[in-house]
Structure 1
Amino acid sequence: MSSLPRFTLPLPAADFLRDYWQRKPLLARGCASGLEIPDPDTLAGLALEDGVESRLIMGGQQGQHGETASWTQRHGPFDEDDFRTLPESHWTLLVQSVDYCLTEVSLLLDSFDFLPPWRLEDIMISYAVRGGSVGPHFDQYDVFLIQASGQRRWQLGPACDASTPLQPHDSLRLLADMPVQEEHLLGPGDVLYIPPGVAHWGIAEDDDCVTWSVGFRAPRRADLLARITDECLANMPEALFTDPGRDLPEDAAGLSDTDVDALTAQALGLVTPERARQALMQLLSEPRQSGPDFAGLDFEVDTGHIRAAAPEAVLVRHGSTRLLADAKGLWLNGEHVPLPDDSRSLGTYLASRRLYDAASLNQHAGTAGMELLNEWIEQGFFVSLE
């Protein structure tokens, strides 16, 4: 029987967020299912496509005298000859944002409703043969590592930061040394959560090792500030600093603390909660990949598979469609779409999940809302399953 990808926390969500989220790793045995699609051939096919971010990483094998083979990384798109000439072991193919390309993969993200939707980034999927790995490293964001097929041995190390020594490599940020503190062998359905900064190293144990990596959006603080600033300055009327009723100068030769406070307060006064929310909603609803270099909406959706696994569903959100709802409507891939009063709840419903049934759509969407929805279906943001 067909099934959709799914993950279930092995403990109450509140306990996970309190005790594990961004604190320590969690091993969850047998907590994921429905991971049969894509198979390695489909993954390799995606790596041939222009605009799909893919990599081949090789290395890590031990020589006769204990030395480790150097690591190499190549970026796609690849061609079929690239795969024909690969060695028998110690290589990994990684394809980023597979959920954008294969909508059925994106349905796994509904299992992470214990976090706000803007926190989700994408799903990377890797295929490795025996010994395949990307080396010892750490990420700056949270990741759930989900074993789909084969086995992968994960070694976990200490917490790392910008001062942690790295190997001398042009493109791979590999740790110079990784003391092993934990080791886990993952099989199909097993899941390992890794917080930001925790060192880890996964090595394929066989030639059928497929691993899904659910990554989370963690915007750089500088990017948040820049976006908020840009929004506050857009269409801002000219306004000069004012200081009526000021006292005699405290500092005859420089800038006093009082003046610093006044200048700063008037500058920061341009940042209002409404403008900040506007800027953040736009930023956080933008897809990771978009524009002419990524034709995400061109990838066909396997509606037959989804219908068989979820017969009550009549509509699915395309994997490359990113949604956030606000009080006035819906943010769709970085653009705000106002909704009429009788369809305001449609935005909340659409943004809260990726599969939709007929009764709920009729309940939340008025006549104008259904017209908008039909436009979005024509544009490829949603796909009808009927």
Structure 2
Amino acid sequence: MSSLLAFERDRFLAETWQKRPLLMRGAWRDWSNPLEPDELAGLACEPEIESRLVRQPAPGQWELEHGPLAPDRFTQLGDCPWTLLVQAVDHHVPEVAALIEPFRFIPDWRIDDVMVSYATDGGGVGPHYDQYDVFLVQGLGRRRWRVGRRCDDSARLLPHNDLRLLTDFEPVDEWVLDPGDILYVPPGFAHDGLAVGDYCMTYSIGFRAPSRGDMVSAYVDHVLETLDDDDRYTDPDLVAGAHPGEISAEAIARLHEMVIGALSDRDSFATWFGAYVTEPRDERLDWAPESKVGAADLIAGAAGPIRFERNPASRFSFIRHGDDAVTLFVDGRTYRCYGPAAAVASQICRSRLALEPNQMSDPDVSDLIVDLVNRGCLAPVVTD
């Protein structure tokens, strides 16, 4: 895979990130398209992979079809423009997953997936806006992108059951992207991409942005599971009030503290959030071994470093506590790690893992690695 050219990350974050769109011409050195159109079509036929097909049978008309698609579906599409979109292709194609690496100056917990689209001449999904950041990497062919102003919930949408398309789209900028070009679009900015010619492939590296409503709802549900039903309102210092119908300021203060106090523990929230944000998007990419393994199985025959690779569908993050302690989160599960295990946990979250056999002799390290392998989050790299 080719590499991204020199990229001023600090300047990008200060001047561009979530502020304005940015076109990066020829951003990749010696660009090579990592996936063939036929391979993408094959993925869209798999039942465990999320895919969509958008057709435009007539100008201003849009039809959406959800996968999995029948293999012969692509021979029945006719001459109208169409677009195939396949989610989380990075979970299945290592060469596509490699596209994420240059963008990991943005925290991993914010990274969602790489969606890949293929479009025939004039194909697109219509003018719309997203609630997340996206880097649009042109992989094959050419695509004309038009970008408008920032939108919000007041933006008028076309009547459509499945697609959120803008009624009034006024482009401000317009570019035609060639292979290796990148267009960054912040959340909320209207944009519309149309294939210029056939064989147009675009790689959309998308980032998650949890909504306040989703987080509040999920965290409250979590807190509710921890509460004791006997923990009830009390007022042992009650005094007679001036009016029997009044809810006193003292009662409101006590009730408010009961509710807010249950939600205000920052450490508890941090632990919950780490598990929440690493919940796997799709558990169908299962790397768990048929029979559970132990440390001895992983060390057996090792003459050098024992190497492990991460399941591309797994999510890894950690929170640091001082110099030698972290809480590791993997696919919604929490691991408290100290000393050598904390260093290994940090390494797992950065890249491929290589451990010397003597490192596996540490019981905390051994227990962590064995559990992650048996859960299918890590897998030992088999070498000839």
TM-score interval for Structure 1 and Structure 2 normalised by the shorter chain: 0.7 to 0.9
**Aligned residues with identical type, % of pairs:** 35
CA shift for structure 1 position 41: 1.0
Partner of residue 87 from structure 1, selected from 56, 78, 93: 78
Distance in 2 (alpha carbons) for counterparts of 1:141 and 1:20: 14
CA shift for structure 1 position 162: 1.2
Structure 1 partner of 2:143: 152
Distance in 2 (alpha carbons) for counterparts of 1:218 and 1:346: 28
1:235-384 matches, cutoff 5 A: 235-237=226-228, 238-245=230-237, 249=241, 252-271=244-263, 272-290=265-283, 294-295=284-285, 297=287, 314-326=307-319, 327-339=325-337, 341-353=339-351, 355-357=352-354, 366=362, 368-370=364-366, 372-374=368-370, 376-377=372-373, 379-383=375-379, 384=381
Structure 2 partner of 1:28: 24
CA shift for structure 1 position 379: 4.7
2:317 match: secondary structure: strand
Distance in 1 (alpha carbons) for counterparts of 2:56 and 2:338: 57
Distance in 2 (alpha carbons) for counterparts of 1:197 and 1:24: 10
CA shift for structure 1 position 229: 1.9
Distance in 2 (alpha carbons) for counterparts of 1:358 and 1:188: 39
Greater Cα shift, 216-225 or 329-338: 329-338
CA shift for structure 1 position 245: 4.2
Between Structure 1 and Structure 2, how many residues are aligned? 358
CA shift for structure 1 position 113: 2.3
Answer whether contact 2:285 2:313 (CA < 8 A) is retained: no
| Matching of residue 50 in structure 1 with residue 47 in structure 2 | yes
2:226 match: secondary structure: coil
Distance in 2 (alpha carbons) for counterparts of 1:358 and 1:104: 25
Distance in 2 (alpha carbons) for counterparts of 1:274 and 1:190: 42
| Matching of residue 39 in structure 1 with residue 30 in structure 2 | no
1:207 match: secondary structure: strand
Cα 1:220–1:250 shift into 2, 3 Å: farther
Cα 1:313–1:84 shift into 2, 3 Å: farther
Structure 2 partner of 1:101: 92
Distance in 1 (alpha carbons) for counterparts of 2:28 and 2:251: 58
What residue identity is the alignment partner of 2:259? A
Answer whether contact 2:314 2:377 (CA < 8 A) is retained: yes
Structure 2, unmatched stretches of 5+, are: 289-304, 320-324
Cα 1:154–1:87 shift into 2, 3 Å: same
1:169-188 matches, cutoff 5 A: 169-188=160-179
Cα 1:375–1:239 shift into 2, 3 Å: closer
TM-score (norm 2): 0.84
Structure 1 partner of 2:291: none
Cα 1:159–1:313 shift into 2, 3 Å: farther
Structure 1 partner of 2:62: 71
Distance in 1 (alpha carbons) for counterparts of 2:6 and 2:165: 30
Distance in 2 (alpha carbons) for counterparts of 1:88 and 1:370: 58
1:147 match: secondary structure: strand
Cα 1:378–1:263 shift into 2, 3 Å: closer
Partner of residue 205 from structure 2, selected from 197, 214, 227: 214
Answer whether contact 1:281 1:324 (CA < 8 A) is retained: yes
1:23 match: secondary structure: coil
Distance in 1 (alpha carbons) for counterparts of 2:355 and 2:181: 34
Q: 1:314-360 deviations in whole A, cap 9, x for unaligned? A: 4432210111123444211111234453211111111123x34567x
Answer whether contact 2:116 2:203 (CA < 8 A) is retained: yes
1:151 match: secondary structure: strand
2:118 match: secondary structure: strand
More relative contact order, 1 or 2 (CA 8 Å, 6+ apart): 1
Cα 1:184–1:257 shift into 2, 3 Å: farther
Distance in 2 (alpha carbons) for counterparts of 1:128 and 1:365: 53
Structure 2 partner of 1:205: 196
Cα 1:21–1:369 shift into 2, 3 Å: same
Structure 2 partner of 1:191: 182
1:208 match: secondary structure: strand
What residue identity is the alignment partner of 2:7? P
Distance in 1 (alpha carbons) for counterparts of 2:104 and 2:112: 13
1:202 match: secondary structure: strand
CA shift for structure 1 position 246: 5.5
Distance in 2 (alpha carbons) for counterparts of 1:171 and 1:22: 27
2:191 match: secondary structure: strand
Distance in 2 (alpha carbons) for counterparts of 1:278 and 1:75: 36
What residue identity is the alignment partner of 1:30? G
CA shift for structure 1 position 234: 2.5
Partner of residue 164 from structure 1, selected from 155, 165, 178: 155
Answer whether contact 1:56 1:73 (CA < 8 A) is retained: yes
